[in-house]
Amino acid sequence: MLDQKTLNRLNKRILAMQCLSKKASGIASSIKVAEACCGINSQDLKESYSSFWARIDGFNDSGLLKEYKPMGGLTRTWTVRGTMHTFPSKDYYTHVFGSGRDRILGRYDNWAKRIGAPSHDVRIESLYLPLMDDIKGKSVTSCYIEEFITDRLAKLGIKNKAQLRRGWSSQATHGPLWVGLTEMSYLGLLVSAGRSGSQGLWMRTSDWLTIGRKVPDTNDCITQLVRKYIEQYGPVYLSDIAYWNNRLFANELKQSIKTLEKDLVKESIEGSTENFYSIEGEKDFVDPPRVIILPEFDSLTMGYRDRSRFMSQDILKYVSKPQGIISRTILVDGFIAATWGRKRCRDGIEVSVLPIRELDTMEKRLIEEKFAEYSDYLRCSVHVKF
């Protein structure tokens, strides 16, 4: 187990690198933040805005949306961990092709065989490429894509409905045999284009990105993405890299580390059974603010297998919930001290703070002040209760 002095050093570094100690500011600050975090995790698009708010001075949604648009500076699609990330458009191929997509595409092939869906080549030629032609130059909803793919399956003489897992319901439900949204994203064909009401919007990657971008080698993308992660999250264990990008095969990670070997700083720290890896040596980082508020599935809390640099192992159960849920958190002096929930009330939003350790009067006041800033960002009343 690492001593507290080492944990404090690692804590200061990661919070500074992720723009949580000193917020980003100025032109293209949202791009700077997305790059600093190796992509902002965004299970829910609107919720992910709070990750930007926590890291950008004077953040407002319009500043982000200026970059999150066709030919803009930000792109959102499925990448590492099989979840949605918002990252710089210039790094599109690094994030998508470097995300261990061979593993997830292989799983799609296996799933297709099990349920009687078309083979890989048929899916591309008869389903995906016709869709790309159909939606050229426009954004479409998830339902539009679902209906298009279902109709194409019917024309191929394949049943277009299948019994789905019933979840919490006692009744089985039925839905499309195949839609392919995630597979098309990993193939580099589709990206998220925002929302329209409750519907997700999608656009061809070639319409979203700058025209003329050359597709690089997949192995180079994997190496570059591993480098970006180590550079921003380091020092890290190899198990941290494998956790963050859990779609990589073991040999892909091993080869990337070998390729980067001359640039890596390898260190052994007392109390650790693994070696740490970083891109550069030690730096002096500023202390974090007294209180930091983070949304659910924030990139900080999703970024490590070993989260000891910002929370102790005994509180993991309060932060990491069943079904892969990562709670909203409150950091006090750099370490998680509470989780929080929110719900709408008659005149705004009610925030429930659930302390993991005892909070003193000053800490509670500072948390209330931070939520007052959050209220200004949301432009509605926020009522805090402990």
Residues 92-138 pLDDT 10s: 999 999 998 889 999 999 999 988 889 999 999 999 999 999 999 99
Name the burial class of residue 155, with classes exposed (0-12), middle (13-18) and buried (19+) by CB atoms within 10 angstroms of its CB: exposed
Q: Domain limits of the chain? A: 1-287, 311-385
Residue 173: band (very low, low, confident or very high) from pLDDT cuts 50, 70, 90: low
Beta carbons of 221 and 97 less than 8 angstroms apart: yes
| The pLDDT of residue 314 | 79
Look at residue 181 and tell me whether its pLDDT is greater than 60.
yes
Mean pLDDT of 218-241: 95
| The pLDDT of residue 280 | 77
Share of the chain above pLDDT 90, in %: 68
Look at residue 168 and tell me whether its pLDDT is greater than 80.
no
CA distance 203 to 55: 28
- The token pair at 349 is 């939003």
Look at residue 166 and tell me whether its pLDDT is greater than 70.
no
Residues 336-374 pLDDT 10s: 999 999 998 888 899 999 999 999 999 999 999 999 999
What average pLDDT does the chain have? 90
Residue 194 CB partners (closer than 8 Å, separation 6+): 45, 68, 139, 200, 201
Residues 32-83 pLDDT 10s: 999 999 999 988 888 899 999 999 999 999 999 999 999 999 999 999 988 8
Residue 323: band (very low, low, confident or very high) from pLDDT cuts 50, 70, 90: low
- The token pair at 245 is 């990008």
Residues 145-154 pLDDT 10s: 999 999 999 9
CA distance 122 to 125: 5
Q: What count of residues does the chain have? A: 386
Dihedral sign of CA atoms 224, 101, 186, 46 in order:
negative
Look at residue 22 and tell me whether its pLDDT is greater than 80.
yes
